[in-house]
Structures are given as structure tokens and as C-alpha cells.
Structure 1
Amino acid sequence: MTHSELQATYDHIIVGGGVAADKAARAIHGRTPDAAVLILTRDPEGPVSRPDLTKTLWLDESTGLEDIDLGTAGDTGAQLVTGVTVTAVDPSTHTVTTDGGNTVTYGTLLLATGASARTLEDAKGGDDSRVTCIRSVSDYRDLRSKVSEETRVAVVGGGYIGSEIAVALNAIGATVDVYTPDDRLLGHMFPASVTDHLEEVYADKGVTVHHGFLLDHLDASGETLKLVPEHGSAASADLVVIGFGAVLETGLAQDAGLTVEDGAVAVDASLRTSDPDIFAAGDIIGFTDPLLGRRHVEHVDNAEQSGEIAGKNMAGDTATYDYTPLFFSDIFDDGYEAVGTLSTDLDTLEDWNDDHTAAVIYYLDGGIARGVLLWNTWDSVPKAREVMTASAAGMLTGEDLRGAIAVG
């Protein structure tokens, strides 16, 4: 669908094209199937399963882009316009304005704008075609088209995205180097018992991790890219993938006068913003977690669950978002699921199996479990939430947590 085919008014407008938008559209359709719904996204593609952009598409040769397309418009009857940017939201007139010059009226509005990849803004050569991130289908296509066996790829950043894309690139035969300013890969999340193991696994698979490398700028003046650190020797690569994390897309909300707290769009239990006819879901929301209080979470489970609740309420339901999201990843032959806050700034209590291949690791604040890592331990997320609830109530604290969740 194009700009010129837009109606003047819709019952519901969704701004954003990720999984939160998909879940919201499905929820609206399920409750009010005849409602007029418009989805506006600046992505050139419709909603897809974004975790697969750094996972399945690289690791499973039988999976293609068509397999991760969520089919939102076809399944829900929503009108989907891609490649369009919403430039303004006016709560007083219930309108949104697009970069194509259209102004459209809504009954309720959902902001599901997500986040954009953080970049090295002042990098020399930072706009070079050999420098990319991995956030969208377009990013995936671009990177995949440039990588073949023995392509030398530098992944800058040793966090969640960096660790995943390194595995993905290695799977198709690229020569991968990871550059991180930290002492350990994923060291901000995992204790040494896990990170030491990961360092060995990456090395065994042929991925080299360079610690203490704080990138200053990129030099794209030669045939190969040079990564110049603040201190130490430069490195070189054919391609650079930036994995610095993401920036929440809250600009529309701020410009519309909606309340933004600690960088996230503030929502109540119904996922309404400070304007009762504007909802928000996904990465951008600051919500009340029933176990951890006010927080924001940049993971797909939160996007899916909050998108569904927002969509229901846009269509007249009175559902509440009282949910503690999980997140997950697979790293070569290891995998994990996690709930809550995983930060090595907290104390940790580690519960390993006998052969040290699986663990449950509790992240403690004053002896209270604020996060649980299920390392190679499956089907235990509901139990982890139960244990965190009991811990917050003083029923399980400190060493009493050991054995509360079966390992492996």
C-alpha cells in the first residue's frame, strides 16, 4: 500500500513495524475484526521475527527470509505502509503526519517504534558501505551479500548482539574477530565461570576475541578498513559490524508531549501513555514489572507480550501488563534463558551440575534474587519467576536459593 491510498481516518494506528506491532494488530483483529487498522513503518519490509536476523537465518540453511515474515497484514486485514516515517503526532487533534505529507486521524494510537542501532557517530569512514550493523532485514541482506568464506569481519562490541552475530558469521565460514573494551566477553552479564567457558568455545571455533580494545575511529581510506583504538595498535578487516547496542526511538513521544522517564516512554498498567488514547509497547516503554518495579526491557518477549496487551486495550479490553519478561540466546552449542536483572554489579550464587555443563545462577541484591540465569537449563522460566517472588517475600534468600530450581 502507498501513501496515496491512505484513508483520512482509522480506528487504530500503529507506528512501528516490529513484533510488538504484529502482536497488537492481531489482538485488535481478534477482539474487533472489522476495525480499520493502519500500520506505518519506516522499514522497507513488514514485520518479521527479528531475533532470526542474528540466529536462524545464518545457522539453518533451510530458513529464508520468507520463513521469518510474520504475515501481519494478510492475517489481520491491517493496512501496512512500509518505508514511511511518521514525523509528528498531535494528541490534541488525534492525528499523525508522515514524511509524505499525509495527515491521518486515529481513534487510538500505538507507539511501537523500538530502537535503532547505536553507531560510532564520528567514525572516519563510518558511512562506508563496508561498515554495517544488524537491526533490520535490509541490514541482514546487505551483510549477507558481502560475506563469504574467509571474509575478514571485525565485530565491534562484546555484548548481546556482538556475541550473536560473531557466531552467525562464523557459521558461514567468515574469519571473525571480536573487539571489546571489556576484560571478558559478556562480562557485564555473566560471572567468570561462564565467560571463561565462552572464551574457550569462541577460540575453539576460530573466533578471536580482543579485549581492552576501545574503538576511537575507523579509517576507510585504504583497500581494507582500519580499526583505530584509543590506545594500542590498529586492526584491519574487510567488513566491520558495529554492535554497540541500541538507542530507544522516543523522539515522537517526546515531541508529542508524552511523559518520558529515564529515557523510556512512561506507561501505566494498561500500557497507556500520559495521553489516554496513545498506547506504547516494546523496547521504548518504561513499565512496572511486578517483581522488579519500574524498568524498560529491550528484548523480543517484552515486545510480544506488551504488544498483545496494548492491542487488546486499544480495542476496548481492560487487560493489565503485570509481566516479567524473559530473554534468551544460543551461543554455539550452549544456550540460556534468563529472567530479571543480569548484572555482575550484583552478587551471584552459582548452582552447577556435577559435570559443570549446566547451571542456575542467581543475581542477588542484599540476598534477594533480582535475576536468574538458566544456563543450559530448560523449561524453568516460570519456576524462576516463582523463586524470585518467594525471594522478594523473604521466603528464599542467600544460600537457601541453592537447589530451588533443578539444574539442567
Structure 2
Amino acid sequence: MSSVVVIGAGLAAAKVVEALREGDFDGSITLVGAEDHPPYERPGLSKDYLAGTKSADTLRVHEPQWYAAHDIEMRYADPATAIDRQAQRVTLASGEELAYDWLVLATGAQPRLLDLPGADLDGVVTLRSIEDSTRLRAALTRQARLVIIGGGWIGLEVAAAARNAGCEVTVLERESLPLYAVLGPTMSGYFADLHRKHGVDLRTEVRVESIEGADGQITGVRTSEGTIPADLVLVGVGAIPDTELAQAAGLDVDRGVVTDEHLRTSDQHILAAGDVARARHTSLGELRVEHWDNAIRQGKLAAYTILGRDESFDWQPYFFTDQYDLGMEYVGHAGADDQAIVRGDLESGAFIVFWVRDGVVRAAMNVNIWDVNDDLRAIVGSEVASDRLKDESIPLAELAASA
């Protein structure tokens, strides 16, 4: 009887084991996690759970009893410490050893930390786990003065939640605009204006020099522009794929665990999925995608590969965000140098944006316009004239059908 061990009890891992059982895999499955929780979804940590509108139970991928009902062995708070590829065994922190025929690495990513004086003070936090979000949520209810280092998606979502809670919020971004590398000047400028209109002190092209404190507690953040008072500092400067196990086992690692389009690593008995995987996309090349949708899809794809199904990493990346009264979905993979074409009126707060390179639509975003993402997904990757993309008299479904 075949055995599967999945390391990393997050969303991708949960989707691996779910798809295996749905695909009638009748071998043994063991899910190994470092956290003392069943797998849960992380988007809510910077959105509705952080805002206090949803409970921790709503974040679960499955109810706790689902795993026993589907004959999944669980190892909570007992992280894997070593992989013996020759013997095909995994050693856990407790000393237990697990044999595998297939191993799936879904170890995720860890927040990037700051190498600055004061970075270890109490009150300097990151946001990756439910415990991180719970601590931050409690601080927001106290209306703490919050300084956020980094103007990426996590930083801006937390800024929105903090402002809605009545906190004084400063966001420090080293680039000229937040999200510039992802959205380019038009839409990164839009998000900058959105936060400033809601009272965020957004400072760009600023260098953080140290985090200051007294008696072990934060008092402020010193920057190239002076010191900003703070009770709490969130570090949101990106994440690093958790490749330590893979590297120690001698797998091919390059800014993530390198895989083919079926999520196989350099060892044909080991797959990688989710945030940790730098996978070969069938049309976009090597990608490492840190988004909810990708964790779900790659988790399923890893299971399909184990089940012998010939499926590949071929979908367009997708993510979403909620900030203040803005809800947005994005599909595709564009960059700052791509041309942004707006369909509609930015001032209205409801519009669509396409990013185009060499006549090809690379990505699309719907802002406060719903039930159009399937059409946008169909348009991405095709050649569509700019004037047709802008023309609201042409239905999106027609553009999608002709793509």
C-alpha cells in the first residue's frame, strides 16, 4: 500500500490530502505541521479575522473531525526536521520517523525580518500565523499608534483594518509608490491616494534606520525623515520561501523549491506546492506565487500528479484584496513596465484595468465590479486592441469570446 507524507499543514497541504481522498487514493496519508492547529486559510489574517468580523473557526479549511473521518494521520506541533531521500523517511522533532512513497513539501514561507537596531523589541510583529493576527487584532482595539514598514498587500490591508478601528497609522515604503513593482504607476498611485484619503500617513522613498524603545518597549521608528512615535510596528517587507528542509536534503532550490510543471522536484518521489514552490508554468516560465488561489490549485495538482493524472501548472495567477470600501480581484501576471489600460472611470471607484505588453493582455483587475473574473481570465493572454479594451459598449463576454 502506497504512503504519502505532506509536510506543512497549511492550505496547500489540506488540498493535497483532500484531492487524494476524492481521487480514491486508498494508501496512508500523514499531514505534518509545525503549528498546533488544523490547516487554516491565511487571507483572513489581514482581512476579516483581523477586523473582528469573523472568528478563528471560519478560517479552517476543514472541520477538525474531517481528517479522522478521511483516515488522515495528523502530526500537529511536531515539525519535520530532516528528510532521508535514500531511505524515503522523514524525521520529526519528536524523533518519530515516517516512511513515504511520495513526499509533498508544502512548507510555505516565512516573513522577511529586518536587520535593524531595535528589531527585536517587544511590539515589533509580523503577520503570518493566527497568533500573529490575534495579537495585532487586540492592539487595534486599543487604538495603538501603528507604524507599518512596507507598503505591500499585507501592509496596506492591515493599514485599512487599523484605520477602520480608529488607529493612528503610518506606512513607510522605500519605493516611490506602494505596490509599484506589481501594478505600475497608474494603479499604485490609485492605492496610495486611497489610503491617504482614509487618513493613513503614507511616506514613500523613506529609509528606516532603527526601531527605538525604552525598557524593552517600542517608542518610535527612526527614519531618514525623523522619528515617528509608535506603540506597535508591523514588518511587512515580504516573505522568504521555507526551503531549509529541501536544501538540507539536496533538492534543487532557487528562490523556492524548483519543480517542473507537474510540481515534481529534482527527486521524482518528492513534490512541492504552494508558497514554497518555484514551479514551471507552461506559458509564463518559472513562477513562485504566494496567493490563496495558487495554494488551492497547486495542492490539488500535487495530488493529481501522485494519482497519475497528466495535469500541469497552466492557470493564470489570481488574488484579491479588500481595503476600506474597495474590493478587487486580479488575474494574470504583469509588471510595472506594462501599459495599464483603464476601462471606466477611476474616480467612480468601480472600473476594470488591463495590463498590456506588446499587444498581449498580461493581467486584468476588476475593482468593485463583480462576476466578471471568468471573462477577464479568458481575455488574459490574448491580443486585444487597446481601444476595444477601453470601450465599455463592448461587453466583456464578447471580448472574452473573441480572445
User: TM-score with structure 2 length normalisation?
Assistant: 0.89
Distance 1:128 1:187 in 2: 30
Q: Does 1:322 align with 2:314?
A: yes
2:231 to 231, 238, 241: 238
1:58 to 50, 61, 65: 50
My pick for the range that moved more, 151-160 or 375-384, is 375-384
User: How far 1:399 moved relative to its partner?
Assistant: 4.2
SS at match of 1:260: coil
Distance 1:257 1:77 in 2: 31
SS at match of 1:46: coil
How many residue pairs get aligned? The number is: 391
My pick for the range that moved more, 50-59 or 344-353, is 344-353
Asked whether the 8 Å contact 1:159–1:185 carries over to 2, the reply is yes
Asked whether the 8 Å contact 1:149–1:175 carries over to 2, the reply is no
My pick for the range that moved more, 270-279 or 235-244, is 270-279
Partner of 2:179: 186
SS at match of 1:190: helix
1:68 to 59, 67, 73: 59
Per-residue CA deviation, residues 198-234 of structure 1 (Å, 9 max, x unaligned), is: 33432333322122222122122355432122x2212
Per-residue CA deviation, residues 27-83 of structure 1 (Å, 9 max, x unaligned), is: 11212364321111112322111101111113353x211121223652233122222
Which structure 2 residue ranges, 5 or more long, are not aligned?
398-403
User: How far 1:136 moved relative to its partner?
Assistant: 0.5
User: How far 1:353 moved relative to its partner?
Assistant: 4.0
Q: Does 1:212 align with 2:205?
A: yes
Partner of 2:92: 98
Distance 1:373 1:178 in 2: 24
Distance 1:321 1:196, change over 3 A: closer
Partner of 2:194: 201
Distance 1:389 1:211, change over 3 A: closer
SS at match of 1:140: helix
Asked whether the 8 Å contact 2:211–2:218 carries over to 1, the reply is no
Partner of 1:284: 276
Which structure 1 residue ranges, 5 or more long, are not aligned?
1-8
Identical-pair percentage: 28
Asked whether the 8 Å contact 2:50–2:133 carries over to 1, the reply is no
My pick for the range that moved more, 97-106 or 303-312, is 97-106
Distance 2:319 2:227 in 1: 35
Give the letter for the 1:69 counterpart. R
SS at match of 2:314: coil
Distance 2:51 2:143 in 1: 17
Distance 1:30 1:406 in 2: 35
Partner of 1:6: none
Partner of 2:106: 112
My pick for the range that moved more, 34-43 or 382-391, is 382-391
Partner of 1:156: 149
Give the letter for the 1:150 counterpart. Q
Partner of 1:18: 10
Asked whether the 8 Å contact 1:369–1:397 carries over to 2, the reply is no
SS at match of 1:139: helix
Give the letter for the 1:358 counterpart. A
Asked whether the 8 Å contact 2:261–2:282 carries over to 1, the reply is no
Per-residue CA deviation, residues 256-286 of structure 1 (Å, 9 max, x unaligned), is: 222234x122222322112111111101222
Distance 1:289 1:377 in 2: 29
Distance 2:346 2:76 in 1: 52
My pick for the range that moved more, 231-240 or 308-317, is 308-317
Partner of 1:273: 265
Distance 1:93 1:72, change over 3 A: farther
Distance 2:13 2:22 in 1: 14
Give the letter for the 1:57 counterpart. Y
Give the letter for the 1:292 counterpart. L
Distance 2:64 2:267 in 1: 27
SS at match of 2:329: strand
Asked whether the 8 Å contact 2:122–2:218 carries over to 1, the reply is no
Distance 1:240 1:10 in 2: 48
Partner of 1:383: 375
Distance 1:390 1:187, change over 3 A: closer
Asked whether the 8 Å contact 2:109–2:241 carries over to 1, the reply is yes
Asked whether the 8 Å contact 2:186–2:340 carries over to 1, the reply is no
Partner of 1:249: 242
